[in-house]
């Protein structure tokens, strides 16, 4: 029994250590971005959560090797955990043990904001300016990484745009056209269903795709501030914008917009429904350009596929060129281990990265390079890239990066129930407002 | 006859070995029925494995567009090529082996010794010590993560095989001690008395009598723990940082791409490769276990 009590005590102390200020006085000032002294090459580590064989990792590996040629003894150790929940568990353990590596990935979560408050991350705003690359970055790519107070502690390595891809032949068959307003979509679904076509293919298993939809109406109705207020309990689902989105989601469900059993279908299932010509619409970002806008796409639908950007609504406060444009998980720089070497390597890597990344056919988070269009691309590839040049100032933030984790988990479950018609919009509104009331104050202290 | 108090162990599905027949006999109804029943059990056990293997031979397109349970329209080894390209499978399997073996050696060695001391030698408070070990069963793994992490980094154990082996063995000990001490109850006292009269000390008795008699329990303990250790994710994910030390569950993560897109066919191929050694070990151990069950101390 004693042992048990002791274990419980250890757990309690740990929990306290996790929530309390880390207290471990940081050796360096997070705003000091130009450390002076000699560059002493050593091995540095980057804890990341990106695909093991992806462009970011491959390019950074190559750049680190190039840097090591002039700096013998330097090595960049890339530690990747692609699965996000496992990654977060790892990151939080390392942070609690005060063992964060030189570089680490994080979204602009409240947990990351806590680390920034404790002075554990280098101020990226100042860092990028001191390296003279700040102005090269797309404002949208940096804004996506900012905390609510506008401070910037993470550096983006990607830039993506989310479109609604559609199949022209199926639209024609059902006699529908590209929607002018979000409010047209339920009626379109009904028309498509009547022609025996699945209106929208969605990956219900991963939950974030359905959560995108709930963000659309408020973004058009009340602008990007709505979710900022909602997550803190300053706005609620009973507000006009909130009710609009709740009812719209219920309508999407009533009109049977998503494929049968969508909640159990995964990423590949949804994409294949669209690429095999069974579904008329598919909402996904430019990271899928290699599968949707090249000759990899199924020849049967290749000439019929096109995309449109997020429709507006009547009286919309945001413009048609403003939609979801995330810059992915960002990289934070540990202020405790920041020294002339890390600074010099970042200077070297960030200057060379955009050109290398753009050469892979992806959109760079900077505007100083031209994305190479692959040889096997369809005309859509170019059209998608050009959309990036005409973006507006505001962007729709995905809600899963905004809400506290408990509310977010609840929202994902309730959305499925709402769309499937298991609960009424009123029940949904009450449940979600209660969840925010209960969880937000603890989280956004 | 020794009765086993061990929980029924999960059995690897073994293909049915042909029944040894010395001479043809007229099949009776009972025999036919039991054959059919065994055949059914084998099908239920083997089907998931067969499905796994078949899926690993399907093309990506075929798996995604068709019915996942349909027979493949064409066979390809390309998934295996991709699996080996993306991940470092050989390395992952080797690491899982090292961790599983290391932890099992510790578990068997310490578990047996502790159980022997508690159950056979006996000392004051031995029941209390046993209860202390049993309390360990209810301690959740998660609470140990952060303290262990901090301690490991203080003694430079982070990112080593030991960092996975030690906690895995520690958390498996309570159950193993329980299994061993329950088994030791069944070794007749007379055996020990006879050995003592012949002049054997406690260590000699342990080495020459207890150890050989409890081989079947050792196999049971190893079997139960290996499954947990082989599939351990949480310790490996927390304490391992470098690619070179990643075990299979961590290695399988490499097939997750952007935004949660999983390369399923490559994953199936990788799983096929990684379960093969485990299956072989289980088939061998299963035989040993049955033999162990059949031999006892005092046959009567």
| Residues A192, A91 share a domain | no
For residue A176 the two structure tokens come to: 């529908």
Contact B143 A266 (CB under 8 A): no
| Residues A313, A331 share a domain | no
B262 pLDDT band (50/70/90 cuts)? confident
CATH number for A245: 3.40.190.10
| pLDDT of amino acid B293 | 54
| Residues A90, A80 share a domain | yes
| Residues A265, A124 share a domain | no
Q: What are the b/e assignments for B260-284, b being 16+ CB within 10 Å? A: bbbbbbbbbbbbbbbbebbeebbee
As a whole number of angstroms, the distance between CA A443 and CA A114 comes to 11
CA distances (Å), origin B18, targets B35, B38, B50, B281, B293: 11, 12, 19, 20, 22
Residue A314 to chain B, least CA–CA distance (Å): 32
| Residues A437, A401 share a domain | yes
Residue A88 at interface with chain B, using a CB cutoff of 8 Å: no
Name the DSSP letter for residue A137: B
As a whole number of angstroms, the distance between CA A200 and CA A264 comes to 15
For residue B232 the two structure tokens come to: 């351990």
Residue B243 to chain A, least CA–CA distance (Å): 7
Edge to edge, the sheet with strand A103-106 lists A75-80, A43-48, A103-106, A330-333, A154-155
B258 pLDDT band (50/70/90 cuts)? confident
Domain boundaries, chain B: 53-88+265-299, 89-245
CB A64 within 8 A of CB A75: yes
Q: How many CB atoms lie within 10 A of CB A413?
A: 12
Where is pLDDT greater, at A422 or B84? A422
Residues 6+ apart with CB under 8 A from B272: B52, B53, B56
As a whole number of angstroms, the distance between CA A26 and CA B40 comes to 65
Contact B237 A86 (CB under 8 A): yes
| Residues A286, A141 share a domain | no
Where is pLDDT greater, at B131 or B68? B131
CB A238 within 8 A of CB A264: no
Tell me if A380 is assigned to some domain. Answer: no
Residue A271 with chain B: CB contacts under 8 Å: 64
Task: Tell me which of A315, A337, A371 is where a domain ends.
Answer: A371
Residue B94 at interface with chain A, using a CB cutoff of 8 Å: no
Class for the domain spanning B89-245: mainly alpha
Domain containing A425 equals 162-324+393-443
State the count of interchain CB pairs (< 8 A) between A and B: 93
Residue B45 at interface with chain A, using a CB cutoff of 8 Å: no
Where is pLDDT greater, at B201 or A177? A177
Of A79, A86, A206, the CB nearest to B241: A79
As a whole number of angstroms, the distance between CA A217 and CA A183 comes to 9
CA distances (Å), origin B272, targets A280, B117, B265, B282: 36, 42, 11, 15
Domains contained in chain A, number: 2
| pLDDT of amino acid B86 | 82
| Residues A226, A346 share a domain | no
| pLDDT of amino acid A110 | 82
Residue A104 at interface with chain B, using a CB cutoff of 8 Å: no
CA distances (Å), origin B154, targets A338, B149, B150, B158: 21, 9, 6, 9
Q: Which of B159, B214, B148, B224 is nearest to B183 (CA)?
A: B214
Residue A163's H or E segment, with its range, is: strand A162-167
Three-state SS at A257: coil
Q: Give CA torsion, residues A224, A230, A236, A241, to 10 deg.
A: 10
| Residues A59, A188 share a domain | no
B189 pLDDT band (50/70/90 cuts)? confident
Q: Is the pLDDT of residue B5 over 50?
A: no
| pLDDT of amino acid B290 | 65
| pLDDT of amino acid A80 | 92
As a whole number of angstroms, the distance between CA A409 and CA A405 comes to 6
Residue A14 at interface with chain B, using a CB cutoff of 8 Å: yes
| Residues A82, A52 share a domain | yes
| pLDDT of amino acid A128 | 96
Tell me if A358 is assigned to some domain. Answer: yes
Contact A10 B143 (CB under 8 A): yes
Q: Is the pLDDT of residue B156 over 60?
A: yes
Name the DSSP letter for residue A258: B
For residue A87 the two structure tokens come to: 């990654």
CB A245 within 8 A of CB A217: yes
Contact A3 B135 (CB under 8 A): yes
| pLDDT of amino acid B294 | 55
| Residues A248, A204 share a domain | yes
Contact A4 B149 (CB under 8 A): no
As a whole number of angstroms, the distance between CA B119 and CA B177 comes to 10
For residue A6 the two structure tokens come to: 């002791």
Residue B135 at interface with chain A, using a CB cutoff of 8 Å: yes
| Residues A139, A47 share a domain | yes
Residue A3 with chain B: CB contacts under 8 Å: 132, 135-136
Residue A61 at interface with chain B, using a CB cutoff of 8 Å: no
Give the mean model confidence (pLDDT) for residues B29-46. Answer: 93
Residue B277 at interface with chain A, using a CB cutoff of 8 Å: no
B291 pLDDT band (50/70/90 cuts)? low
| Residues A53, A183 share a domain | no
For residue A26 the two structure tokens come to: 């940081």
Give the mean model confidence (pLDDT) for residues B281-291. Answer: 73
Give the mean model confidence (pLDDT) for residues B120-124. Answer: 87
Contact B139 A81 (CB under 8 A): no
CB B268 within 8 A of CB B56: yes
Contact B260 A267 (CB under 8 A): yes
Give the mean model confidence (pLDDT) for residues B111-126. Answer: 91
Segment-wise mean pLDDT, segments of 10 residues, chain A, 445 residues: 47 44 50 86 95 92 97 95 90 91 93 93 96 95 94 97 97 96 97 97 94 97 95 95 97 96 90 94 96 93 96 96 96 96 96 97 96 96 95 94 91 97 97 95 85
As a whole number of angstroms, the distance between CA B163 and CA B235 comes to 8
């Amino acid at each position: 029994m004693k042992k048990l009590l002791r274990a419980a005590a250890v757990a309690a102390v740990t929990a306290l250590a996790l929530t309390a200020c880390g207290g471990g006085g940081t050796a360096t000032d997070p705003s000091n971005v130009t450390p002076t002294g000699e560059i002493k090459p050593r091995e540095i580590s980057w804890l990341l959560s990106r695909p093991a064989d992806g462009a970011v990792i491959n390019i950074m590996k190559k750049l680190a090797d190039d840097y090591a040629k002039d700096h013998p003894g330097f090595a960049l150790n890339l530690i990747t955990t692609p699965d996000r929940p496992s990654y977060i568990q790892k990151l939080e353990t390392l942070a609690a043990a005060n063992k964060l590596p030189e570089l680490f990935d994080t979204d602009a979560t409240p947990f990351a904001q806590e680390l920034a408050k404790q002075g554990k991350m280098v101020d990226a705003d100042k860092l990028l300016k001191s390296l003279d690359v700040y102005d090269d970055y797309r404002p949208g790519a940096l804004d996506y990484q900012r905390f609510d107070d506008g401070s910037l502690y993470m550096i983006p390595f990607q830039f993506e745009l989310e479109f609604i891809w559609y199949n022209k032949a199926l639209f024609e068959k059902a006699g529908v056209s590209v929607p002018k307003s979000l409010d047209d979509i339920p009626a379109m679904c009904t028309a498509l269903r009547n022609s025996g076509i699945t209106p929208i293919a969605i990956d219900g298993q991963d939950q974030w795709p359905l959560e995108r939809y709930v963000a659309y109406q408020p973004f058009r109705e009340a602008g990007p501030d709505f979710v900022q207020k909602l997550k803190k309990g300053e706005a609620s689902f009973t507000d006009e914008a909130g009710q609009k989105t709740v009812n719209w989601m219920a309508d999407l469900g009533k009109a049977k917009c998503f494929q049968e059993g969508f909640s159990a279908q995964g990423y590949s299932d949804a994409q294949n429904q669209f690429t095999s010509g069974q579904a008329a619409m598919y909402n996904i970002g430019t990271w899928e350009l290699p599968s949707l806008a090249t000759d990899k796409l199924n020849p049967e639908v290749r000439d019929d596929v096109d995309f449109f950007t997020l429709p507006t609504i009547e009286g919309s406060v945001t413009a048609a060129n403003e939609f979801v444009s995330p810059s992915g998980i960002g990289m934070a720089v540990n202020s405790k281990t920041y020294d002339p070497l890390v600074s010099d390597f970042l200077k070297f890597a960030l200057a060379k990265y955009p050109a290398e990344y753009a050469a892979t056919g992806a959109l760079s988070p900077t505007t100083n390079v031209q994305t190479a269009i692959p040889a096997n691309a369809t005309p859509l590839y170019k059209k998608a890239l050009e959309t990036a040049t005409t973006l507006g100032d505001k962007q729709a933030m995905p809600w899963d990066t905004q809400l506290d984790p408990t509310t977010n988990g609840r929202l994902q479950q309730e959305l499925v129930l709402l769309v499937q018609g298991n609960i009424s919009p009123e029940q949904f509104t009450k449940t979600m407002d209660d969840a925010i009331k209960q969880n937000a104050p603890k989280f956004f202290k | 006859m020794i009765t086993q108090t061990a929980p029924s162990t999960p059995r690897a599905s073994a293909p049915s070995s042909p029944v040894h027949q010395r001479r043809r006999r007229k099949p009776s109804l009972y025999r036919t029925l039991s054959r059919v029943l065994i055949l059914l059990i084998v099908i239920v056990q083997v089907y998931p494995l067969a499905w796994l293997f078949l899926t690993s031979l399907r093309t990506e397109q075929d798996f995604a567009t068709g019915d996942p349970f349909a027979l493949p329209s064409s066979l390809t080894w390309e998934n295996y090529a991709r699996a080996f390209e993306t991940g470092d499978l050989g390395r992952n399997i080797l690491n899982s082996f090292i961790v599983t073996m290391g932890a099992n050696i510790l578990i068997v060695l310490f578990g047996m010794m502790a159980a022997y001391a508690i159950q056979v030698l006996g000392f004051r408070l031995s029941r209390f010590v046993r209860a202390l070990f049993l309390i360990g069963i209810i301690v959740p793994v998660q609470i140990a993560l952060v303290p262990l992490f901090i301690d490991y980094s203080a003694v430079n154990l982070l990112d080593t095989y030991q960092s996975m082996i030690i906690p895995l063995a520690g958390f498996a000990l309570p159950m193993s001690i329980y299994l061993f001490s329950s088994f030791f109850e069944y070794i007749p006292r007379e055996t020990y008395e006879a050995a003592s009269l012949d002049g054997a000390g406690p260590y000699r008795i342990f080495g020459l009598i207890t150890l050989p008699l409890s081989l079947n329990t050792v196999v049971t303990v190893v079997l139960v723990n290996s499954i947990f250790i082989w599939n351990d994710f949480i310790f490996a994910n927390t304490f391992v940082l470098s690619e070179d030390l990643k075990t299979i569950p961590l290695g399988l993560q490499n097939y997750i791409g952007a935004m949660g897109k999983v390369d399923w066919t490559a994953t199936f191929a990788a799983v096929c490769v990684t379960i093969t050694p485990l299956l072989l070990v289980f088939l061998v151990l299963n035989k040993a276990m049955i033999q162990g069950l059949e031999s006892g101390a005092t046959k009567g």
